[in-house]
């Protein structure tokens, strides 16, 4: 069998080549987006929007998957963010207010779903909180929205978000808020919502951030991504186990924090002290690829044992100089 040629290193400053387009075209032609009769649930949505005081502008199929969508003007007082979204970024909202006000145009429709809560119609947006807030402040009476007939779209907030990048804390908190909402909707397993949750680690980290808003989740995230798996139980039953994982991680972090303080007392200052310690006690850092994967509990147990043996007195400034990583989070 011929040996594989080593990859040629990219020259400094060289532009990374983009992936080639797929060889086979998919989706709909432009002329096909309006070339079919809408199904009954979309016709019903059309009627509901207009009964709610909105105005349907177009009904069409999106070009990639062929899913039906309704573009409509909605009364702005009937639109609100999904209840499990992150907090607004005032800086981002102010920027949007200035731009929309300056050019005098709103050109980026939000995404919404229609929710009927106790007979009162509402439109939830999983992607558009900042634009909605900016338009409200500017005094707009209505807002242009793409309304999806499927209510499940409201839970695909992380996948849909395009208006402002989430940091780890925001992602984890949104996931855990969705998690609690979904726990009461049925017996679906965690894995059912893999797209919505993105990864199991974000659920556990979300529980941690709820308990401790300034928790430094970034130091542990690379490890959790490899060992924190979806629990094979309905979400309602899995909640207690998720809380146990979060509590175990928070207890470990308390001990890590005590070691950080000991290093600081010795005059060692670095924004990477926590990441340095976590890297030192990481049991999967040099684990062979063919070794049996460690479970979440096994990983934290090994980290706790390694931390008990960690001696801050033996750490030298040059040891810290060799490391980088995730700095302390200041949320």
Assess whether 153 and 173 both reside in one domain: no
pLDDT, one tens digit per residue, over 177-215 is 889 988 888 788 998 888 788 899 999 999 999 999 999
Q: What is the pLDDT of residue 15?
A: 57
Name residues whose C-beta falls within 8 Å of residue 270's C-beta, 6 or more positions apart in sequence.
Answer: 276, 320
Is residue 331 in a domain? no
The residue from 130, 160, 190 where one domain ends is 160
Assess whether 234 and 299 both reside in one domain: yes
CATH of the domain at 90: 3.90.1530.10
pLDDT, one tens digit per residue, over 21-32 is 666 788 999 999
Report the C-alpha gap between 244 and 24 in whole angstroms.
47
Q: What is the pLDDT of residue 274?
A: 93
Q: What is the pLDDT of residue 155?
A: 76
Assess whether 128 and 203 both reside in one domain: no
Q: What is the pLDDT of residue 139?
A: 95
Q: What is the pLDDT of residue 266?
A: 87
The residue from 134, 160, 186 where one domain ends is 160
Assess whether 156 and 173 both reside in one domain: no
Q: What is the pLDDT of residue 165?
A: 58
Name the stretches of the chain with pLDDT < 70: 1-23, 157-165, 321-331
Report the C-alpha gap between 53 and 45 in whole angstroms.
13
Assess whether 139 and 188 both reside in one domain: no
Assess whether 174 and 305 both reside in one domain: yes
Is residue 6 in a domain? no
Is residue 18 in a domain? no
Q: What is the pLDDT of residue 255?
A: 96
* Cβ atoms of residues 58 and 70 within 8 Å: yes
Counting every residue written for the chain, the total comes to 331
Is residue 266 in a domain? yes
Report the C-alpha gap between 214 and 218 in whole angstroms.
11
Assess whether 114 and 54 both reside in one domain: yes
Is residue 285 in a domain? yes
Domain count for the chain, please give it.
Answer: 2
Assess whether 220 and 116 both reside in one domain: no
* Spacing of C-alpha 328 from chain mean position: 20
Q: What is the pLDDT of residue 228?
A: 96
Assess whether 129 and 271 both reside in one domain: no
Assess whether 179 and 126 both reside in one domain: no
Is residue 19 in a domain? no
The residue from 160, 191, 206 where one domain ends is 160
Q: What is the pLDDT of residue 330?
A: 44
Assess whether 263 and 188 both reside in one domain: yes
Domain range for 308: 168-321
DSSP letter for 55, please.
Answer: E
């Amino acid at each position: 069998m011929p040996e594989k040629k080593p990859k040629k290193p990219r020259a400094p400053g060289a532009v990374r080549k983009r992936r080639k387009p797929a060889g086979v075209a998919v989706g709909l032609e432009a002329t096909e987006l309006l070339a079919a009769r809408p199904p009954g649930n979309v016709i019903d949505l059309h009627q509901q929007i207009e009964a709610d005081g909105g105005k349907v502008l177009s009904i069409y199929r999106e070009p990639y998957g062929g899913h039906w969508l309704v573009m409509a003007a909605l009364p702005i007082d009937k639109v609100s963010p999904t209840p499990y979204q992150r907090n607004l970024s005032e800086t981002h909202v102010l920027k949007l207010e200035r731009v929309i006000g300056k050019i005098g145009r709103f050109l980026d429709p939000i995404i919404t779903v229609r929710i009927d809560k106790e007979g009162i119609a509402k439109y939830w947006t999983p992607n558009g909180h900042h634009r909605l807030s900016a338009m409200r402040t500017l005094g707009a009476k209505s807002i242009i929205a793409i309304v999806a007939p499927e209510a499940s779209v409201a839970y695909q907030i992380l996948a849909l978000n395009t208006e402002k990048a989430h940091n780890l804390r925001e992602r984890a908190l949104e996931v855990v808020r969705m998690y609690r909402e979904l726990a009461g909707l049925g017996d679906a397993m965690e894995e059912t919502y893999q797209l919505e949750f993105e990864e199991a680690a974000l659920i556990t980290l979300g529980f941690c951030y709820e308990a401790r808003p300034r928790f430094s989740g970034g130091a542990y995230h690379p490890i959790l991504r490899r060992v924190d798996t979806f629990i094979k139980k309905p979400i309602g039953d899995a909640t207690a186990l998720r809380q146990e994982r979060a509590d175990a991680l928070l207890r470990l972090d308390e001990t890590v924090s005590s070691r950080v303080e000991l290093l600081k007392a010795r005059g060692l200052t670095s924004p990477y002290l926590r990441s340095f310690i976590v890297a030192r006690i990481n049991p999967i850092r040099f684990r062979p690829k063919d070794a049996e994967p460690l479970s979440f509990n096994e990983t934290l147990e090994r980290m706790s044992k390694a931390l008990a043996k960690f001696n801050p007195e033996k750490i030298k400034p040059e040891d810290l100089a060799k490391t980088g990583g995730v700095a302390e989070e200041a949320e």
